[in-house]
Amino acid sequence: MQSAELDHLHQNHDGYDQDDYDYQDDHIEPTVHMTEEDLVDEEEEIRALEDKKRALQSRVSSMEKDIEGLAR
């Protein structure tokens, strides 16, 4: 019985082209044009984020020391 059902399913799909289902990566990344000013702005933002990260790491380190002091 299963064989007959599989044959029937196979016959119903013979009209389909497998290429219709194959994934093709036709996606092309857009070209990004950045000006010198854009690059400078990005670098400034990166520096500001790195400064903020260092400040937060310092606060965490200080909190860890405080907790260690309380645990004694």
CA distance 34 to 57: 32
Is 15 inside a domain boundary?
A: no
Of residues 64 and 18, more confidence is placed in 64
Give the model's pLDDT for residue 32.
80
In a domain, 2, yes or no: no
- The predicted pLDDT at position 23 comes to 59
Q: Count Cβ atoms below 10 Å from residue 68 Cβ, excluding itself.
A: 9
Question: Does this model's pTM top 0.85?
Answer: no
Number of domains in the chain: 1
- pLDDT on residue 48: 98
For the stretch 16-57, pLDDT in tens is 555 555 556 667 777 788 899 999 999 999 999 999 999 999
Name the burial class of residue 12, with classes exposed (0-12), middle (13-18) and buried (19+) by CB atoms within 10 angstroms of its CB: exposed
- For residue 64, being part of any structural domain is answered with yes
Q: Is residue 14 part of a domain?
A: no
Tokens representing residue 33 in the block: 């044009």
Q: Is the model more confident about 3 or about 66?
A: 66
Q: Which are the contacts of 42, defined by CB distance < 8 A and separation ≥ 6?
A: 34
